[in-house]
């Protein structure tokens, strides 16, 4: 197998100013893709991520502030990307919110916020980029789910529901877009070393999770990112409609 080469492709990774999203953006840039880094509101963090990737990689990197739950903001982002880098060839739906609340305390507003970002966002982004992908006869849509979709989790009814919904989203798009040379796949990461600052919950104690992982350790985001780059490449061109679990064996071989 030759090295993965995404030269000439434009990759938009939502929610990519830090953590797994930034690691994916870096992998795409390392493989030659022009990369769009985006987040919803932290402009300083976005600018820092763009500057870091520009310094590390010899490719075009831009930042676009986008609330993926806002239809107009998504269309504006795609227009900006098109003007600066050309049409989006690779869409990575990574933006997500993960609040914790027991079911009786989840307000309708909170529920709608989670659904809007985690599930409506990927729909709006796909709807905006698919026409150019169809015209090109090539495209990749990669959507990030998570372990909550398989296991569920207390105080995360809304998060688990949206993450599971992304499985159906992925498979439906795979059927609909296959004839146009567009693949749709989902990555379900396990527990990773991520910075949860700003989510209002503090850093979780990962040791109980580590003990359940057959490989015995919590991975770095950089260990998840290569799967996205592979699926975005021609090497992954015969894979569509799939959920790829990258979790050290946590699922389906969880230890109790």
Structure confidence at residue 233 (pLDDT) = 97
Q: Domain range holding 174?
A: 10-246
Q: Is 124 inside any structural domain?
A: yes
Residue 255 has pLDDT above 70, yes or no: no
Q: Is 118 inside any structural domain?
A: yes
Q: State the pairing for strand pair 61-63/243-246.
A: unpaired
Structure confidence at residue 204 (pLDDT) = 65
Run of H or E including 141: strand 139-144
**Mean local confidence (pLDDT), 41-60:** 97
Structure confidence at residue 1 (pLDDT) = 37
Q: Is 218 inside any structural domain?
A: yes
**Mean local confidence (pLDDT), 163-185:** 98
**Mean local confidence (pLDDT), 37-55:** 97
Structure confidence at residue 175 (pLDDT) = 98
User: Token pair for residue 62?
Assistant: 């831009």
Q: Is 57 inside any structural domain?
A: yes
**Mean local confidence (pLDDT), 209-218:** 84
Q: Is 254 inside any structural domain?
A: no
Average pLDDT over the chain, rounded to whole? 92
What domain count does the chain have? 1
Residue 200 has pLDDT above 60, yes or no: no
Specify the CATH number for the domain of residue 115.
3.40.50.720
The region that residue 242 occupies, defined by phi over 0 for left and psi between -120 and 50 for alpha, beta otherwise, is beta
Residue 14 has pLDDT above 90, yes or no: yes
User: In sequence order, which residues have a C-beta less than 8 Å from that of residue 92 and are 6 or more positions away?
Assistant: 11, 12, 13, 14, 16, 21, 24, 28, 142, 143, 144, 228, 232
- Please list the residues that pair with 184 across neighbouring strands: 141
Q: Is 40 inside any structural domain?
A: yes
**Mean local confidence (pLDDT), 67-77:** 98
Residue 177 has pLDDT above 70, yes or no: yes
């Amino acid at each position: 197998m030759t090295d993965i080469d995404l030269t000439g492709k434009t990759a938009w990774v939502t929610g990519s100013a830090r953590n797994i999203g930034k690691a994916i953006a870096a992998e795409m840039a390392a493989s030659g893709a022009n990369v769009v880094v985006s987040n919803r509101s932290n402009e300083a963090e976005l600018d820092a991520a763009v500057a870091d990737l520009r310094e590390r990689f010899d490719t075009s990197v831009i930042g676009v502030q986008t609330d993926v739950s806002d239809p107009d903001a998504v269309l504006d982002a795609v227009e900006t990307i098109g003007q600066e880098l050309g049409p989006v060839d690779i869409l990575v739906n990574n933006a997500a919110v993960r609040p914790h609340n027991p079911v009786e305390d989840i307000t309708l507003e909170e529920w709608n916020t989670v659904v809007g970002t985690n599930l409506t966002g990927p729909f709006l982004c796909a709807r905006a980029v698919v026409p150019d992908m169809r015209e090109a006869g090539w495209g990749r849509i990669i959507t990030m789910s998570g372990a909550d979709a398989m296991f569920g989790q207390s105080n995360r009814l809304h998060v688990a529901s949206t993450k599971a919904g992304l499985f159906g989203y992925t498979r439906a798009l795979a059927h609909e877009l296959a004839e146009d040379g567009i693949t749709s796949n989902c990555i379900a990461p396990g527990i990773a070393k991520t910075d949860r600052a700003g989510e209002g919950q503090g850093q979780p104690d990962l040791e109980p999770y580590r003990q359940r992982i057959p490989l015995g350790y919590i991975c770095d985001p950089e260990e998840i990112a290569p799967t996205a780059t592979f699926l975005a490449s021609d090497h992954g061109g015969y894979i569509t409609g799939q959920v790829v679990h990258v979790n050290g064996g946590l699922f389906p071989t969880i230890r109790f």
